[in-house]
Amino acid sequence: MCLQATAQVNYKTREEIPAKYKWNFSDIYENWETWEADFKSMSKDIEVMQSLKGKLGENADNLVTLLTAQETMMKKAYKVYQFVSFQSTVDGKNMELQAKLQQVGMFFANMGMTTTWISPEMIKIPEATMKQWIAETPALKPHAFDLMDMYRMQKHVLNEEMGRLVSFFSQSSGTAGDVFTALSTTDIEFQEIELSNGETVKVTPGMYSHITSTNKNQEDRKKAYEALYDVYYKNKNTYASIYQGIIQSEWANARAANYESCLDAKLEGNNIPKDVYLNLINTVRENTAPVQKYTKLRKKILGLEKYYGFDGSMSLVDFEKTYPYEEAVEVVTKSVLPLGKDYQAKLKNATASGWLDVYENPGKRGGAFSAGVYGVHPYMLLNYDETLEYVFTLAHELGHTMHTTLSNETQPFATHGYTIFVAEVASTFNERLLLDHMMEITKDPKERIALLNQAIQGIIGTFYAQSMFADFEYQAHTMVEQDQPVNADIFAKLWGDIAQKYYGNVSEKTKYSNYPWTRIPHFYNSPYYVYQYATCFASSAKLYTDVTEGSKKDKKAALKRYTTLLQSGGNDFPMEQLKKAGVDLSKPEAILAVIKQLDELVDQLAIEIEKLEK
């Protein structure tokens, strides 16, 4: 059955994939004609907004009219953009879809230029007047949080002339990121290697992952590692120039908006204290002993004389069980029962209604994500391969999907969108529920080891690695902000110094050890994003403990707080939302709790290995 299931996921064309495993685009639009109608009508919404220029401060009715037109347009924008984007995601070679994406992108760019007057004009309305309007006008109440928050951000709001000038550079400021994408995907030429069994393979990132996680021959893993990283290493100077351009663009935009640093610009919008970021990277950097202990344990179990980074994905035991998709859905659905039957029922509906695009097909982008379409439902991308890791990926992305679903059901459009700062809480919470459930139901000692290893790898990948990335970003940006020179050698030294703090001398160094920064997309596409994976992981670990431990009364209260968090969208600052749920990231306890958790899991893994050896 497992062999049959594995064979079934290797579809040669998208058309071969049964409809139940593919996205249902008609939930957004029945056809391109209705898409076109909405796309064109957005221009009329902008005309309504433009007609109010110079009139926002006259009365509350004008402000309501503006916000209504803006909201009407944005609801359409979600659908218009995602209808094209999703189809392009699963059919990347379709140039007609690419053209439509560019068309939508240009519309949004032009919209940004023509509406630069709104924020500076709105901020001229006295704060006392705005409070009075909100109190007296029911239509403004859903917008109260954002309207009042703009006064906190007042010094960073550009005047119309400056805003228009900056908007001219909005597309060009993304050019460096586009160059990274082109260099790393479209123009990249991966190398071929011959494995010890005589097979010749091209080492793409996917093939590299496959070889390093399944091939028991260390020399083969080394060949794959060198072949992959050599491609990036040969372009190290180009990547350094791209990355410098990314940071320079960030720094220019930060200064234009009167921020003291790029980090301040990223944190201020969500009112995140800078100390939260610095506390994270400093605390984690000083508490890497559990990671090194795990690495030493791996080296011993695998019986390696020398241990390299490319040995980090190898299974610790011969465990080749596969998990057919329906089986994975069932186990994930059962695992979330601690969150209540209503949550479980909503999750079950999400997996049965055309919300998921399950299997890989030619032209489909890799990876996995969940993206919402307000007024419709979230859409989840998978490339399901029946591995244990992908069962956890399914649980992870369904966490996002449920977060979006609950927020959209509970919040008005104005506050439905939750921030990135809390986005990974629900996903990592679901992963922990899945671990507990699978550990409870399995009697296979090898599966228990695989599960513990999966959990440990999850903490290292989601918490430690992202904290390390955040450390690198902070120091790299600081160099540019202080007018220090940066180049490939400097970035490599910076990476090496941080890696030494994290991993010490447990792993062997290679020619390529200091160059992973060349291939981490978040550095180029989403600066100062990755730290939130780590803070979210710490938050979910604390919330998980509250929901699953203690008295029945305490657990019930904790579950209510957690559910409220998922329903709260963006109706408050994320730090305040987390505090209401029971997490205070300004204190080191949440960070140290994850470190303690990892240490305990490594010890438990060592015990399970010892049992198996007996």
Amino acid at 550: G
Q: Tell me: pLDDT of 368 over 80.
A: yes
Measured CA to CA, the distance from residue 113 to residue 1 in angstroms comes to: 57
Q: Domain boundary at 122, 157, 192, which?
A: 157
Q: Let me know if residue 142 belongs to a domain.
A: yes
Q: Which domain holds residue 50?
A: 17-157
Angle of CA points 265, 267, 270, to nearest 5°:
115
Decide if 466 contacts 534 (C-beta within 8 A).
yes
Q: Let me know if residue 391 belongs to a domain.
A: no
Q: Which range, of 21-25, 106-110, 342-346, averages the lowest pLDDT? A: 106-110
Instruction: Please state the pTM of the whole predicted model.
Output: 0.84
Q: Which range, of 23-37, 170-184, 402-416, averages the lowest pLDDT? A: 170-184
In CATH, what number is assigned to the domain containing residue 544?
1.10.1370.20
Decide if 42 contacts 80 (C-beta within 8 A).
yes
What average pLDDT does this structure show over 258-269? 92
313 and 455 inside one domain? yes
Q: Tell me: pLDDT of 395 over 70.
A: yes
Q: Let me know if residue 427 belongs to a domain.
A: no
Per-residue pLDDT at 185: 77
- If one counts every other C-beta atom within 10 angstroms of the C-beta of residue 146, the result is 13
Confidence bin at 284 (pLDDT 50/70/90): very high
Per-residue pLDDT at 159: 67
Q: Which range, of 177-186, 367-376, 524-533, averages the lowest pLDDT? A: 177-186
Q: Let me know if residue 343 belongs to a domain.
A: no
User: For the chain, how many structural domains are there in total?
Assistant: 2
Per-residue HEC secondary structure of 475-524 comes to HHHHHHHCCCCCCHHHHHHHHHHHHHHHHCCCCCCCCCCCCHHHHCHHHH
Which secondary structure element, helix H or strand E, spans residue 371, and what is its range? strand 369-371
The helix/strand/coil state of 370 is: strand
139 and 229 inside one domain? no
Alpha helices, DSSP H, located in 323-444: 325-335, 341-350, 388-410, 420-441
307 and 455 inside one domain? yes
Instruction: Tell me what percent of the residues of the chain surpass a pLDDT of 70.
Output: 95
377-402 residues labelled b (16+ CB within 10 A) or e (exposed): bbbbbbbbbbbbbbbbbbbbbbbbbb
191 and 149 inside one domain? no
The residue length of the chain stands at 614
**Phi, psi dihedral angles at 200 (to 5 degrees):** -105, 125
Q: Let me know if residue 174 belongs to a domain.
A: no
Q: Which two tokens stand for residue 296?
A: 């030493």
**Phi, psi dihedral angles at 249 (to 5 degrees):** -65, -45
Q: Which residues contact 611 (CB under 8 A, 6 or more apart)?
A: 445
584 and 463 inside one domain? yes
Q: Let me know if residue 88 belongs to a domain.
A: yes
Q: Let me know if residue 368 belongs to a domain.
A: no
pLDDT tens for residues 544-596? Answer: 999 999 999 999 999 999 999 999 999 999 999 999 999 999 888 889 989 99
Amino acid at 600: E
Q: Let me know if residue 133 belongs to a domain.
A: yes
Q: Tell me: pLDDT of 1 over 70.
A: no
Q: Tell me: pLDDT of 416 over 90.
A: yes
Q: Domain boundary at 157, 175, 196, which?
A: 157
Confidence bin at 6 (pLDDT 50/70/90): very low
Q: Which residues contact 18 (CB under 8 A, 6 or more apart)?
A: none
Q: What is the DSSP letter of 460?
A: I
What average pLDDT does this structure show over 508-525? 95
Long-range contacts of 39-43 (CB under 8 A, 24+ apart): 39/76, 39/80, 39/104, 39/107, 41/76, 42/73, 42/76, 42/77, 42/80, 42/107, 42/111
140 and 216 inside one domain? no
The helix/strand/coil state of 219 is: helix
25 and 152 inside one domain? yes
Instruction: Tell me what percent of the residues of the chain surpass a pLDDT of 90.
Output: 79
195 and 153 inside one domain? no
Query: How does the average pLDDT of the chain come out, rounded?
Result: 92
Nearest to 297 by CA among 424, 482, 401, 449: 449
Alpha helices, DSSP H, located in 91-123: 95-114, 118-123
Q: Tell me: pLDDT of 168 over 70.
A: no
pLDDT tens for residues 435-456? Answer: 999 999 998 999 999 999 989 9
457 and 544 inside one domain? yes
Angle of CA points 31, 88, 111, to nearest 5°:
80
Confidence bin at 170 (pLDDT 50/70/90): low
Per-residue pLDDT at 214: 87
Amino acid at 110: N
Q: Tell me: pLDDT of 3 over 50.
A: no
Confidence bin at 165 (pLDDT 50/70/90): low
Strand partners, 379: 371
258 and 134 inside one domain? no
141 and 29 inside one domain? yes
Nearest to 191 by CA among 218, 229, 236: 229
Q: What is the DSSP letter of 185?
A: I
Q: Tell me: pLDDT of 361 over 80.
A: yes
135 and 217 inside one domain? no
In CATH, what number is assigned to the domain containing residue 52?
1.20.140.70
Q: What is the DSSP letter of 509?
A: P
